[in-house]
A and B are shown apart, each in its own frame.
Chain A
């Protein structure tokens, strides 16, 4: 399906087939467009999120928050950005310079690359690889190096503690994260994220096929994996909070104990990159959660309304653009980002509501509670799937 927004690497031969498609099979303009769109959207989204976080925290704490720059202080983030860009770039004398400079870059790259594996719509994705979620996890797992190395290279006590904490915490929760997501893939029988989304329209939970229900039938809500995998989703969510170093698991930063933790020695734009990396990781994690548990771009069948409407006017192939696909693409992406945004606001809500864990509590939760729980849930899932599929 050649649409304006589709980079088709659908023949599922992995990343290199995609690269091949990108540079050899002349599909690169489409892919490049998506790459550019995603690459620009994420920083924009991040600045919006920072504003939302500050206003939200103010709301929760009964304060005003930023309110000077533009309406409701909306342009505060841009003012901050300008400040970051023009401030003096201090490199303390005691740091390990190459690694100190490398760390902020590592903070941003993995989350942005990970978005390459996320399907935003049925035809809007950068790479459809058959290792899907594993590829995304593999890339995001590199994010921790930014924090560990930044902490280590800063060569002072608090950042080092932050870095050490980060590496231990990431390792601990990555296991629970992977194991909890496994349940979804046992149900789907495929690691491809597109299959995961498509499977969430099968009507299995209420024993009905898709054809039986009209678009907009709210019972389709129960097709979402969050209803098939409630515990898995919960563990995935908790582990995801820990993986993104968000409250209540922001031990690497923990300003009340470690000053600013791993980024205490960073200033100006390098600090901003860490900041960007953290929020981009949140976006990635929320997108993955939407794909795995919240039905991705689907919305009770409403996701096809627009393209059906275009088709009904016979306008789907006006000129060289397939307008039906364009309409579908925009609606899918819109639905997807709305869901993601809800989750991101949830992140913010949690941050300003829950107190931080103590470090030993964090480790205990990861190893003693979440790990066995996710294993047990895996067993339950396997048995359940075996029963449903008739062994």
Chain B
């Protein structure tokens, strides 16, 4: 609790500086040159990605008197967040160019949200956890409602605001209980407390943790707090939906992993948390995957799919041992590329057809085979089809749950849901390849997006054929977390 160690905060500080810089530059740019802000934001995202490789940062450690922690998971997730932001900036360029107002603010809010995500990856006490989470949440309140003239967008923003406030209240309530039970908000002290041999798991601690996971479940779209997802995904501007479906969600997950890492060291607490998380995970899986089937709007479909994907990660979190953590991290990284691939296509298809109906995708194979192929690979990876990265992630997560006998039922639930998910993803794929086009619109993607999509496809394939490369990153990060290396 002594050193400021600001060097560790360089990525966060740079992100904030980039946000403020874009905001200020926006003031001096004439209307027709605003597009430079897009380029600047892309450069900023790349710089932020690289900044996590600064030796002093990559080395890790504590900062800000122990309230800031850089470990393997934090670094990995920060890189994932930076890549997400880069993707968002790549696919949002045309969208923002069409905005009649607020171009600079869009990028400012995205970059500040990114700084919040960075902070989420590194928080080491409950106070910072809450504030970091709120930075992300509040940014998205605004970004979601950014199309002020669109009723749907504003409605989505309002829904997010209301449910976000409720979940923030739950989270704070939980934090208050945990503080009451332990007398501290600092994770370092809690880590030492929970492994003390005579630590008694009090009711308020367990209830507090339940509330905390519910509050975080809002960001990750876990079941009791999922109700906003389809409407908000549909109403929000598509690049924002993309950012939210990946960045905001993973920010919630990284916090879940962090809280679990702190409290899951104690077998007694883990024994209380596992059934709770497993139940939530199972409900989330069924809700997301069954809800996706009747959807006719691609963004709503992706909303339900995003709920379903959340369920798989919860499987690994419920298992609460190193493999589950590693699987969760692997899945989260693969989710970045998978979901961004799909949203990259959605943005440009919607640009051509001006709608988000599933019908728009009929005949995409003929109108733009490249986009169609990219979308197919993305959807297959989401479904978890073998040679792709998503398959490996699901395998790790299901495997981690299979490790503990009392979670076997959850594995079966997961497997059933893989089949359900396969159905609706394949429906979209069938529509793209077999059906005839309904509209004459021909989606085109600019070169930079094509390259990004191509790289994503390559990464998805590489992650499927050689998962050990990514696992080589996630496994040590997970091992560092201090959870048991065997199932309980």
Q: Find out whether A and B make contact in their complex, taking CB atoms under 8 A apart as touching.
A: no
* B interface, CB within 8 angstroms of A: none
